[in-house]
Amino acid sequence: MTLHIPCPDGHQLKLLVYRPGDEDDDAPAAGGAVTGVLWIHGGGYVTGMAAMAHLLGRPRSLVKKFGAVVVSPEYSLSPAHHYPVALEECYTALRYMVDNAETLGIRRDQIFVGGESAGGGLAAALCLLARDRGEIHIAFQMPLYPMIDDRDTPSSRDNHNIVWNTRLNHFGWSRYLGELYGTPDVPKYAAPARETNFEGLPPAYTFVCSGDPFYSETIDYFDRLRLAGIPATCDTFDGLFHAFDIYLPLNPATRTAIENFEAAFLYAQTHYLAPNP
């Protein structure tokens, strides 16, 4: 299902909504309200589209296996639109899910957010923004190999791997941040790795491989979540490259990553709630 919702500045935001039974009759029947997932596509903040979330990423199994409703926003891309446009659009989508929970058939007390790469970065930023604004409560976050640090890290510096590397990372961040790029003024909502207070954030799950430019920032971010007392699991895989689970669907590491991701989702679905008014 495709929706168009108004943003605060008046422009329309496209949402793709995936529900149990939309594609086949084997999906779990919704016996009342179900988990709502806002899933944000990747693409280095410069490319991609909402349909990628369902066609290439993990949300398909969340609908088919676990009966969730997944909402994916067609957020604005840089350099045509710099930070914070995409983040504010994702927040608008999140607010729509809470305000229209009954219509969407989702639980207002079980809203999850997730995404791959830049989508994972936006998911992490959205959790910071929602916590600090105090209007919406997110029950669980799934920022997979997230793009969250605009600064070079041990794994993003001199990385020449395929799919994503140092050169592309600099390109993506410079387009997303615009005039903020390379300055000390980059907000934590643009680059969540700059956050220093992790208290009150939702429980989290991710996976990442050691060949990914985002390996170091992901490990560090999840370490700091745990130090703040937040349940946070980060599964790691040796070697490989960014988004390996999408490009190598039959790789044993991918199979393990998907199994772990789905197990984490099921655990969250049965244990984590965050009531919204």
pLDDT tens, residue by residue, 94-144: 999 999 999 999 999 999 999 999 999 999 999 999 999 999 999 999 999
Structure tokens, 273? 């709630």
* % residues pLDDT > 70 (the chain): 97
Q: Give 155's pLDDT tier (boundaries 50, 70, 90).
A: very high
Cα gap 238→28, rounded to integer Å: 35
Long-range contacts of 94-101 (CB under 8 A, 24+ apart): 94/38, 94/126, 94/130, 94/136, 94/138, 95/135, 95/136, 96/5, 96/15, 96/71, 97/36, 97/38, 97/71, 98/136, 98/276, 101/33, 101/36, 101/276
Q: Give 21's pLDDT tier (boundaries 50, 70, 90).
A: confident
What does the pLDDT look like over 198-239, one tens digit per residue?
Answer: 999 999 999 999 999 999 999 999 999 999 999 999 999 999
Q: Which fold has domain 2-271?
A: Rossmann fold (3.40.50)
Mean pLDDT of 187-195: 98
What does the pLDDT look like over 30-55, one tens digit per residue?
Answer: 568 999 999 999 999 999 999 988 78
Give the per-residue pLDDT at 1: 93
Which position has the higher pLDDT, 134 or 58? Answer: 134
Domain spans of the chain, in order of start: 2-271
Mean pLDDT of 162-182: 98
Q: Give 25's pLDDT tier (boundaries 50, 70, 90).
A: very low
